[in-house]
Amino acid sequence: MAAPRRSAKAAADASDEPEVEENGQEADETAADKEAEVGPTALERAYMDALQRERAGYEMRGLTDRVKQVDAELKRFER
């Protein structure tokens, strides 16, 4: 199962350097930009929920190797 991907443009826009206007002041970030940095997106939350359900099924059936694989995928999304 493939993980959701972010666009290359989004990665380029997320640089550590703050945007600076011509007068030397930092540009104000919008509330949506700040909210996006705080937690996972709706798609990521849905994916993590699906992984949790998948993990529970493997655990009930005693498939420990698959539980470990799902745990590794969930760890990628921890923030």
For residue 26, report the phi and psi dihedrals to the nearest 5 degrees: -70, 140
51 within domain boundaries: yes
69 within domain boundaries: yes
Neighbours of 14 (CB within 10 A): 11
64 within domain boundaries: yes
**27: which 2 tokens?**
């540009």
Query: Residue 54: which of 69, 76, 35 has the closest Cα?
Result: 69
Could you list the residue range(s) of the whole structural domain that residue 75 is in? 40-79
Single pTM value for the model: 0.51
Quick: pLDDT tens for 14-56.
Answer: 555 555 556 555 555 565 556 556 788 899 999 999 999 999 9
3 within domain boundaries: no
56 within domain boundaries: yes
Residue type, position 64, single letter: T
Cβ–Cβ under 8 Å, residues 37 and 77: no
Count of structural domains within the chain? 1
